[in-house]
Structure 1
Amino acid sequence: MKVEVKRLHSFDLPMPRYMTRGASGVDLYAACEYDIAIAPGERKLVPTGIAIAIPAGYEAQIRPRSGLAINHGITMLNTPGTIDADYRGEIKLIVINLGDKEYILKRGERIAQMVFARIEQAEMIEVKELDQTERGDGGFGHTGV
């Protein structure tokens, strides 16, 4: 699979890339013009400086980086975020600080991962009744967990 990447304002930053042979996601870099201070409980929209063309039948999922999460409480809202195959705008990340200290995000910092996945569009069929299952309509902790 090939994904076209257009640099918008990230010419000085690395291209998204897999950091190891077995990595599932490519790292995305913060393309902020200035350092961004993120206070505890605060969320910010962080630009990546790139737009991509995802092949039909795929999506890109945005996920937090585990090191930032465990060390600083920095994560992504709307995780995993979905980038649809027909979106051509700049990828921007919804970052939140769940830690107890202000975090300073710098240009060029690896801030998230992007994982590509196959998708299939379902046909919605209206029915009067659904088949019965053992679970039925039990939800939200119905199994005792």
Structure 2
Amino acid sequence: MNIKVINKSANALPAYETLHAAGMDLRADLEESITLKPLERRLIPTGLYIELPIGYEAQIRPRSGLAYKHGIGIVNSPGTIDADYRGEIKVLLVNLSDTPFEINTGDRIAQMVVARHEQVQWQEVGELNETSRGAGGYGHTGKS
């Protein structure tokens, strides 16, 4: 699939790092470094603008290494970029650790997965088909 992209950053375009990778790393595009204080959240620009085909979205997800090593996550994870959005891709990072974290231009801050999606038409009904699970949720499995 070809996707139109404008790259206003000095970073290379996102790319798959391994043969079977689902996501591409997004990099920070900053004029100067940013320090995220504990529990602080900031919108980090990437300098990327994309034009997705109709029926696709770009999901912005945390990087597992940043989460594990530094407690850095994404507030609205996964974030969704819709096919009709033309603004800059920005990532809403949060520092969930107890130590400050510095972000510099070129740092890998998130990953992006492009995925097909459907739009639904609701069909209002009076009842739903029964299943063995029923209405069980939030930890109901594994209990005797």
> Would you say same fold, with TM above 0.5?
yes
Residue pairs, 1:1-145, within 5 angstroms: 1-7=1-7, 9-10=8-9, 12-144=10-142
Gapped regions of structure 2 (runs ≥ 5): none
1:75-102 C-alpha deviation (Å, 9 max, x unpaired)? 1121111111111111110101112210
CA distance in 2: counterparts of 1:66 and 1:133, whole angstroms: 35
Identity %: 55
Q: Normalised by the size of structure 2, how large is the TM-score?
A: 0.92
Aligned mates of 2:59, 2:69 — CA distance in 1: 22
For residue 144 of structure 1, report the CA deviation from its aligned partner.
4.2
Give the Cα separation in 1 of the matches to 2:127 and 2:62. Answer: 39
Partners in 1 of 2:68 and 2:130 — Cα distance? 42
**What is the alpha-carbon distance in structure 2 between the residues aligned to residue 123 and residue 32 of structure 1?**
42
Per the normalisation by structure 1, the TM-score is: 0.91
Tell me, which stretches of 5 or more residues in structure 1 are unaligned?
Answer: none
What's the C-alpha RMSD, in Å, of the aligned pairs? 1.4
Deviation at 1:21, TM superposition (A): 2.2
